[in-house]
Structures are given as structure tokens and as C-alpha cells.
Structure 1
């Protein structure tokens, strides 16, 4: 026998079920909402470095008629002789706008080309941070980093076509002639390898790049002529390889093997 169920629905009055939602929401936002106040902008610190005095001291130390430090110390600290450095400074100051002498709105002289080039060379020579030249050359970290960037870009632009290229038949004839005069007929350069320490080498690669010491290194192979023209460089081989293994991987003889090397009589 089928049974029937009786369901009684209670239709509540809408007025009785009204809920005031404005008050809880308002309390919530007043309690939890936070208004982020704008951060106070840090004022840029101005340091009076007396760049004119720094330029004068640099000139008296290395470039005056009677410099404080002679040519030997100049060669040691700048990694080149003074005539070569002055040639670079002259070309950069005449052909690259960044290294030209300028004046600010108050008519005060800016950094000299010598200061900018010295800052770049010191960073390249010693491999130090950009702010290490501040106390002597009298320029800030950002400016020193910009000097380095502009210096490298200027060198590539001005001297790339002459030095950053493959050797031509004329170059080979000149090198062969110089080698024969020095008692080494058929010699066009000296090849050697140098290990560069890899400070941030991944731990998993340390064994592959360490040889004899606990410090991982990367090998640089270079060929230089008698006048210090480096016409070949191969960088990136692991430090565990010896010179013969590196020479086997090097592309220094690829042109000869492929038959595309310049012919010299």
C-alpha cells in the first residue's frame, strides 16, 4: 500500500528575513583594510669628489714631464706603455662623444678623457669592482661602469677593423719575415695557454674544471706575434685538459686543414 507524505512549506515573510549586510562589511573593511601609503622617495646623495683635483693628481702622477711614477710602473699598472695609452685616449677623445671634454650648466669642467680612460683601464687591468677607482680617479660607481662600457665599445669601433680580424697574406708575409730575422724561419707567432679561475663554477662541474688544485679554471689559448698582436684566441676549455688536448680542440689549424688558409709565397 502506497503511503503518501505530506510536506508543509513555510513561506516566511520577506520583511522578517531581511539582513543588514552593510554594517558587517563596513566593520570588516574598517578592521582589515589597510591603505598603502606611498613610500618616501630616497633623496640622491651628492658627494663632492673634487674631480678637478683628481685630474690634476692623475696628470702629475703619470703624464707630466716629470711624473711621480715612471714608465715601468705605468706599464705595470696600465698593462700597456704610455704612448699606446695616449694614442687610445687621443682617438677616443676626438671620435667618441662620451670621452670629449664637457662643461655642466654652471660652467664647471666635467671629467677629463684621461680620468675616464684610466677608470676603464684600471677595471680591466685589475678586475676590480667599479667603485674601486672612486678614491683615486674621483668618479662614482655608475660613472665608472659607464666608462668601461663606452671604452670597450669605442675600442671595437675604432680599432676593430685593424686588430680584431683574421690575418691576411700581407700579415703572414710580415710575420714570416720578422720570424726569419730573429732566427725562427716559418714562425708566425707564439702559442700558449693560460688558466683563468672560475669563481662561480657550479658544484656539479667542479671536478671537470679542476686540475691539481681545488679551484676550477677555464683555459684561454692565444697566439701572439712579436709585436703583441693577438691574432687567435680560443677560450672555454675545461681546466683539466693539458695543452695538447686543448690544441686538439682548438680551431687554430682549421683553415689549413680545410684548405682555405691564405697562400703565402
Structure 2
């Protein structure tokens, strides 16, 4: 009986000690000032998307464009009529590239011209999506999405016509072009440049 009594006393003492420790921890925690959690909100930037479209139109597609068709070909690796055909086909066939008016009658977001140009610029120059923001007024995430959609839709809409094996007529046409340019019996070539590395350790030996 005495052993049971002593065990009970020990248990009570342990419980009291644990309770006091817990209370002390809770008190110290509540007395400290906990800094409020930072709230990261999305920053709204008025990019003036209409101005981006107008500038693009005046630079390349207006009645008196700032830059010539030859400059367009050089900069974007394709002729302007081909680019316009691609934009028109994609705009008419893909809802994502079709510009609609919102409830305020304002044309929604970006034109098909801006979206396709963003994709072409990134592919032609190998630049990041962030680099097209200042001229075309598209945010980085939007430019990324435009590129992904553009590639998918070009494959879907033009794959049967262009992304196929050449026919006998295609090969003959390419051979004729090569011969006319001084490269007979050549279908295609890989351009390469040989750079001399004067500081190459092997050359030093």
C-alpha cells in the first residue's frame, strides 16, 4: 500500500513539473511579437497593349511601313506574305489567337499579330520570353504560352503540307535550284564555319 502511495506521489510530481514547463513555454511564446507573414500580391502593370499592336502594325504592316519587306525577311527568317498567311490561318482556326471584345466593348488582351510575332521573335533570335515585353507589350508568361500554342498550331494546321517527306517533284525542284546557284546535284547543305582558336592548349604544344 505504501509503494502504491509513493508511486502516485511521484506521478503527480512529474505531471506538475510537466505542466509548469508547458505553461512557461506557452507564456514565453505569447509574449514574443510574431512578425506578420508577408503577403505577395500580383503587381498590375498597364502595358498599353493597344499601343503595342499599333506600333507593330505601323512598323511592318501599314500602308507606309517603317521597315521594308526585305528587312522583315532578314529579321524574321521568312517573307512577310508567308507570315501574314500563318497569322490569318491561326487566327481563324484557333480561338486562343482570336481577339474578342470584353463586357466593356474593349478588344480583349492581345491581337493575333502580337502573339504570333512574339513567338516568331523568340524563335528567330533565340531570345527569352522576357525580351519581347518592351516592344510587343506581352508579359513573360503570356509570351511563353504564345510560343507553345503557336508551335502546336503550326504543326497541326500546316503539318500535312510542309512537315512531310519531299516528293519526287520537290526533289527535282531543289536540285534545279542548287544547280542554278552553282551547286549541282545538291539537295541541301549544312553551313559551317571553321574558327581558329589561337589559345588552344593543344596548339601551344
SS of residue in 1 equivalent to 2:189: strand
Aligned mates of 1:127, 1:100 — CA distance in 2 = 26
SS of residue in 2 equivalent to 1:67: coil
Can you give the 5+ residue segments of structure 1 that lack an aligned partner in the other structure?
1-9, 196-209, 215-265
Is the aligned partner of 1:105 residue 2:97?
no
TM-score, normalization: structure 1? 0.61
* Higher fraction of strand: 1
Aligned mates of 1:38, 1:171 — CA distance in 2 = 68
Aligned mates of 2:59, 2:53 — CA distance in 1 = 10
Q: CA RMSD in A?
A: 3.1
Deviation at 1:159, TM superposition (A): 1.3
Higher deviation after alignment, 125-134 or 86-95? 125-134
Can you give the 5+ residue segments of structure 2 that lack an aligned partner in the other structure?
200-205
SS of residue in 2 equivalent to 1:192: coil
Aligned mates of 1:154, 1:213 — CA distance in 2 = 46
Aligned mates of 1:194, 1:180 — CA distance in 2 = 20
Is the aligned partner of 1:118 residue 2:117?
yes
Is the aligned partner of 1:22 residue 2:14?
no
CA contact (8 A) 2:100 2:107 kept: yes
Match of 1:168 in 2: 167
* Higher fraction of helix: 2
Is the aligned partner of 1:13 residue 2:5?
yes
Cα distance 1:180–1:141, how it changes in 2: closer, same or farther (>3 A)?
closer
TM-score, normalization: structure 2? 0.77
Q: Greater RCO between the two (CA within 8 Å, min separation 6)?
A: 2
2:82 aligned to 58, 70, 84, which one? 84
How many residue pairs end up in the alignment?
Answer: 190
Match of 1:236 in 2: none
